[in-house]
Structure 1
């Protein structure tokens, strides 16, 4: 009796230790990411492009230069200049009468100059080595139609965040219908036998293939053979193949959990097989399907190897789904590149926090949508 109690106590202690150790590891990881990453998260980090962008613009004076008591105020353009910590001259404020609102680039296209943009040249005069007062004087003495060199600061995650959302949505649009319909076939229509066993065996093997293999396949087939180039479509198609085993398996388990009496009752009332699946089985299996979608989102957000070989590593907002303008780096790819090439742990941790927040937001959104759907269906 004492021996049995001792064994039970040891087993119970191991269970408690395992649970506490898991929580401890999770706390340490999250705590480290927050400690390193939170200081780097600010409005600029969330709203700026990643790369600096330099543009030459032409503007007209709005008034004749006049002396002003305001430090850094350029009366001829109605703007205020300051210097940042690195000594760069930047526009801290743009007045309501400033001609910068109607600035045009060298192609004659409108260019919206914003506060915080750096100003390094006026016509052929370099302002970078001048004091704020000397820069103000130089601008005021320039010709009526002046050319300014404007540099928009980078360091923001907007391109990667937008690209990540594009990849998530496009991958789910492709993979979810195929995966759900495949699960319905396997559970509701397929007859037991060699064909069904072969399909299940293939799904199990697809789930175990390393993502780098999928990346090589996507690069050879989608990027090169079909000529999509490094693009979000090539990345989404590759990820869709990766997601199929998860969506099919999880959805099939959700369908199996629906009692057989639901099917028999529906068919007994005169509904067809298709009507039964669409009106009865799928709505009741929706919570399980939601789990498949959530798992898929996590897989998409965390994927890097396959996307590096198909979507590319350029930090830009894609303006197309294929071609030269469609390549884009996701948040995970940029995090990997920062750690591998620059060793920038702080910025990488800041991106990791955004990734965690994005997953939480997407999960909550999907649950809210599902609950509303179930409520409308009266389930």
Structure 2
């Protein structure tokens, strides 16, 4: 068992930490306040090869491992959680399934430009009546010759307003249940593809999401990802990897809140001394640091399992469950350390509280993670 990072992993950590300090932290509050898409930051992610971290170089990516990806996601999210999830969706939810299930021709068209950051991808699974019950898909794809005609809708699609293509889950055989779900790669400029206005959310306000509608949208059969009926399997394996990204995002948010609490506790004085000299504050700081370190070990274990090519459903779910709930606990304790100032928009910590909350919901709620974990444990 080796807890030391490799030279490459340390370099990724250094590079992304410097980028976050220079480009993200100074702008994150402004982007959040104005609900502004971080255009320049996303371009820089592409320049740093961070939009296809674990994608092989021959497919346009950086060719690094998933531990590098987790490290980068933590650092980027420590700087700006919105930028972090934009990065996570393109890496985990878009590039990863195409890398795993796509043909060579599909990878050339739908993977390489996205891994290079020339284009941006998104993932369409969630529907108004298919959230935690992901198999309850209502979006229907009907074969018509060499095409499929798709009708339906998706919602809460992160990157949706800006994406150039989507990995889209559809129902091709209702009678087959979850085995009747089929995945497609669809350019967003396809006729019949309609995007609503960006959602108004509590947090991650700079990471735009939206609802999408498909009205007699014709998609070539060659754009099918995997085989007909394999969509649910593709979606679930994709989410196994996506949960590593979201766990890393939660870790970054928690670290941001923790570091700001530590700094503030040295500046703020009460009863004639810095508040960090009061035991009540020391206990909160100790708890925060311990939880952050514990979450990081779970995240890196899941990433390492993925790098080994072994099943990591339980490990990813554990990492996502613990890191997300930890992020909310840490962010709230950090706000408490700030006292009344923590409730003010003048401080970043209130944003971390809002940003942390979504990590317990998207890419599988905490309740779904517990179901996944228990199912894997009891199957053994």
Fold match (TM-score > 0.5): no
Instruction: Return the TM-score normalized by structure 1.
Output: 0.25
Larger RCO (CA under 8 A, 6+ residues apart): 1
Which of structures 1 and 2 has the bigger CA Rg?
1
**Higher-strand-fraction structure:** 2
